[in-house]
Every structure is written in C-alpha cells, then in structure tokens.
Amino acid sequence: MKRINYTTVEELLLSDGFVKWYQQTDETEVQAWDDWIAENPEHQRLAKEAVKVLRLFSEAHENKIAEQEIRAATNRLTDTIRNMKSRYYQRVKSLRTE
C-alpha cells in the first residue's frame, strides 16, 4: 500500500497522486487516497480544502474559455456589422451618383 504523508493543502495540490484521485483517473491512486482520507478527520479536512481550491481553478479555467469565446463571437459580430455598413454606404453612394 502506498504511504501518503501530507500535512498541508499546498502539499496535496502539488501531489500528482492527489490530482489523479480528484480527477478519478487512476484506480490505484483513488484507492490509496480514499483510504488516507478515511483514516483521519484531519485528512478529510485537508482533502476538502484542496478540492475547493481545485474546483475554483477549474471554474476559473472554464470562465476563461467562455470569456475567449464571447470575445471571439463579439469580434465576428462587429466585423459582420462593419461589412454590412460598408456595403450599405457603397450602395447609397452609388444611387446618389446615378
């Protein structure tokens, strides 16, 4: 059995094994961390705090992506409006010269 010996939230966040447990990507890590968390109330507290931080990072990352998508969509819309305006003014100008 893997021996886990962390005492701070920061140590958990820096642990590849803990991140794998959080993401549920490695059964061995999941089992080891589940056992570690269950063995001590302080471990439970540390894990909960670390999970909160990981969720905040995840939400911030998702919001960043959404922000970039919104900016790109806004730019496309602005470009479309400019092109439409440009064509409209060209037509009006050509009608005046006829």
Choice among 11-25, 30-44, 45-59, 73-87 with the minimum mean pLDDT: 73-87
**pLDDT single digits (tens) 41-74:** 999 999 999 999 999 888 877 777 777 877 887 7
CA geometry: angle at 14 spanning 11 and 16, to 5°? 120
Q: Which domain holds residue 38?
A: 9-97
In angstroms, the CA 49 to CA 41 distance is: 13
Which amino acid is residue 77, in one-letter code?
A: L
Looking at the structure of the chain, the number of domains it has is 1
Residue 92 lies in a domain: yes
Residue 1 lies in a domain: no
Quote the pLDDT of residue 53. 93
Contacts of 18 by beta carbon, 8 Å cutoff, 6+ apart: 6, 12, 29, 33, 47, 50
